[in-house]
């Protein structure tokens, strides 16, 4: 179980790090009415938080300092993905939702796994 959780943590960290960095540096390339729901500084803040919490999935457990931060980071990323999914679904419909729902479910599993199944 520990190996599965580590693999999921690393993959989710990469997924969210790439997404966060892309959100911060490529805001102008986003198209769609859903981007107008939040101002640019809000999108940049969300991208920065996404990248920081992606680091929080891996670094605390790898370094051994404050490993209790890992389930918190996973829970934030799960909620962040679901809120983004709700915003996207409002404008685009169902087809793109799976790109946010699947990582959200996996992040929630990591949070549960690090709290109940196999803590550090």
- Over residues 16-73, the pLDDT tens digits come to 999 999 989 887 777 666 667 778 898 899 999 999 999 999 999 999 899 999 999 9
Q: Which of 57, 46, 72, 48 is nearest to 14 (CA)?
A: 57
Which 8-state DSSP code applies to residue 65? Answer: S
User: In this predicted structure, what is the pLDDT of residue 27?
Assistant: 75
Mean pLDDT over the full length of the chain = 88
Q: Which of 57, 58, 56, 46 is nearest to 21 (CA)?
A: 46
User: In this predicted structure, what is the pLDDT of residue 28?
Assistant: 75
User: In this predicted structure, what is the pLDDT of residue 38?
Assistant: 78
Q: What is the pLDDT of residues 101-110, one digit of tens each?
A: 899 999 999 9
């Amino acid at each position: 179980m520990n190996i599965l959780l580590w693999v999921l943590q690393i993959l989710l960290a990469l997924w969210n790090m790439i997404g966060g960095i892309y959100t911060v540096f490529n805001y102008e390339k986003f198209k769609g009415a859903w981007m107008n729901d939040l101002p640019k500084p809000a999108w940049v803040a969300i991208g920065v938080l996404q990248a920081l919490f992606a680091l929080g999935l891996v670094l605390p457990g790898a370094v051994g300092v404050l490993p209790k931060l890992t389930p918190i980071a996973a829970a934030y990323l799960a909620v962040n993905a679901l809120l983004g999914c709700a915003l996207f679904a409002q404008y685009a419909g169902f087809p793109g939702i799976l790109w946010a729902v699947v990582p959200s479910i996996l992040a929630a599993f990591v949070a549960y796994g690090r709290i109940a199944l196999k803590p550090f």
